[in-house]
Amino acid sequence: MAANNNPTVAGRRLGAELRRFRRNSGMTGTQVAERLLISQAKVSHMETGRRAVSPRDVRDLCMLYGVTDQHAVDSLTALARESSRQGWWHSYGNIPHSTYLDLEAVATSVRTYEPMVISDLLQTPAYAATVIEETIPLVTVEQAAARLKVRLRRQYRVYDLARRLHLWVVLDESALRRVVGSPEIMREQLEHLHALSTEPHITVEVLPYSAGAHPGLAGQFSVLEFSDTREAVVYLEKFTNGPCLAKTSDVQQYSETHARLRALALAPDQSRHLITDAIKLYTS
């Protein structure tokens, strides 16, 4: 159980191991919270990797669970130290949505609904720069440049053959029609979107205006899944950091919502035809 060089992976692995040891001990999360005089929420967050676990936490939990194998304790302590490191994006300054970036860095698949703009991972540099500059009040040139670098580096996952991220994106038709920057920028963006939508690991479906009222009217959301655990997480994007939902009922609800949006959306081939029609508008 060696430490992983990704802090988020290390945190999730540590949480999974702590949960396993707790269950082996026969204790519930409530009992652990009562014994250590902490909240049950903290116990839950440590086990899901959503809260940092210190080496002292590891020591206290191992003692409580009766873990006497020193090698196991040392391995958990190493994971705790590794998980306390910050992700690569922190070197760019105060970047919003850090919670989501933590999750996206280790996700194996992302199902998302975008009602207003093209998804971040599918944006061209010019389109992304315009979105950042026009949607963040009082953003400085330096801040905009840093956020653009982070967004473009996140896209490495789309092209990484070893760790390719599987994307299933439902786009509202308004994302194709809203002119971001200029017709030239939109044409380049939609041509890029069209090309990416033919990749086997990327599915793009457009929800047409004719779909009328639908479950996505509440706003953007993403459902992320991971290879190291069966648990999925829902992320709701807000202006800075949005809420992260891990309850089974929440994940099921948003998974069903995404499935309904897919059913209402055009099939991938039909979606590409609609994207092609939009490209012609910007070309003329």
User: What's the CATH code of the domain at 190?
Assistant: 3.30.870
39-53, 161-175, 178-192, 257-271: range with lowest mean pLDDT: 39-53
- Give the global pTM: 0.76
Average pLDDT, the chain: 88
| pLDDT at residue 217 tops 70 | yes
129 within some domain = yes
Q: Cβ distance 207 to 268 under 8 Å?
A: no
Higher pLDDT, 212 or 284: 212
- In the sheet that holds 244-245, the strands lie side by side as 202-207, 166-172, 107-114, 221-226, 232-235, 244-245
pLDDT of residue 1: 38
Q: At what angle do helices 29-36 and 40-47 cross, to 10 degrees?
A: 120
284 to 103, 174, 181, 192: CA distances (angstroms): 41, 19, 16, 18
CB atoms inside a 10 Å sphere around CB 148 = 19
**Could you please report the per-residue DSSP string of 34-76?**
HHHT--HHHHHHHHTTSS---HHHHHHHHHHHT---HHHHHHH
User: What does the pLDDT average to over 150-161?
Assistant: 89
Q: Which tens digits make up the pLDDT trace of 264-276?
A: 999 999 999 999 9
pLDDT of residue 90: 66
Give the whole-number percent of the chain exceeding pLDDT 70.
91
- Are 228 and 128 members of one domain? yes
| pLDDT at residue 243 tops 90 | no
Quickly state the pLDDT bin for 3 (edges 50, 70, 90): very low
Give the whole-number percent of the chain exceeding pLDDT 90.
56
- Are 224 and 103 members of one domain? yes
99 within some domain = yes
Quickly state the pLDDT bin for 2 (edges 50, 70, 90): very low
Residue that terminates a domain, selected from 61, 83, 105: 83
- Are 70 and 102 members of one domain? no
Residue that terminates a domain, selected from 36, 51, 83: 83
Beta-bridge mates of residue 222? 112, 235
Q: Could you tell me how many helices (H) and strands (E) the chain has, helices first?
A: 13, 6
Q: Which tens digits make up the pLDDT trace of 175-206?
A: 999 999 999 999 999 999 999 999 999 999 99
- Are 273 and 187 members of one domain? yes
* Nearest-5° Cα angle at 171, 167 to 172: 165
Residue that terminates a domain, selected from 83, 115, 144: 83
User: What does the pLDDT average to over 202-213?
Assistant: 96
| pLDDT at residue 7 tops 60 | no
User: What does the pLDDT average to over 212-230?
Assistant: 87
Specify the residue for token string 């009992």. 31
Q: Which tens digits make up the pLDDT trace of 97-150?
A: 777 887 888 889 999 999 999 999 999 999 999 999 998 888 899 999 999 999
Quickly state the pLDDT bin for 225 (edges 50, 70, 90): very high
pLDDT of residue 89: 65
Q: Cβ distance 245 to 236 under 8 Å?
A: yes
73 within some domain = yes
Cα–Cα distance measured from residue 174 to residue 98, given in angstroms and rounded to the nearest whole number: 27
Higher pLDDT, 38 or 262: 262
| pLDDT at residue 6 tops 60 | no
Residue 51: domain span? 7-83
pLDDT of residue 15: 84
